[in-house]
Amino acid sequence: EVQLQASGGGLVQAGGSLRLSCVASGFSFEDFDIGWFRQAPGKEREEVSCISSSTDSTFYADSVKGRFTISSDNAKNTVYLQMKSLKPEDTAVYFCAAMAVTGVPPKTYWMFRAVYEYWGQGTLVTVSS
């Protein structure tokens, strides 16, 4: 059974840092790429970042580029999202999701929710001003 478990959210002041974790079970990172999405109150879920271990590539939304870093520990089947210089507008529930690899870097489609087959529950990040 494929499962994704996100954790690490919390309350942090603006300018602070948090590290989110997404623990995967039931599949290998060789077979699935992992994305992070977030959903703020009253807004649609939006893409944040994606890591493709099979193609050794990473992708970021413009809004987080330079502040967030995605990485993976394949031995632990865990993907991390290191978030720095947090802003109040980063406040949201953060979700991790998995999509099947295609053999090419998902440069043109990682941002689309529909390509992800499995979703974890969210973890809440609140950034106070």
Tokens of 7: 């954790």
For residue 43, the 8-state DSSP code is: S
Distance CA(75)–CA(122), nearest Å, equals: 23
pLDDT at 107: 96
Buried b (16+ CB within 10 A) or exposed e, 30-45: eebbbbbbbeeeeeeb
pLDDT at 36: 98
pLDDT tens digits for the chain (129 residues)?
889 999 999 999 999 999 999 999 998 888 999 999 999 999 999 999 999 999 999 999 999 999 999 999 989 999 999 999 999 999 999 999 999 999 899 999 999 999 999 999 999 999 999
43: which residues sit within 8 A by CB, 6+ positions away?
Answer: 92
Q: Which residue has the tokens 């973890």?
A: 123
pLDDT at 30: 83
3-state helix, strand, coil in the chain (%, to 5): 5, 50, 45
Q: What's the half-sphere exposure (Cβ side, CA atoms, 13 Å) at 95?
A: 19
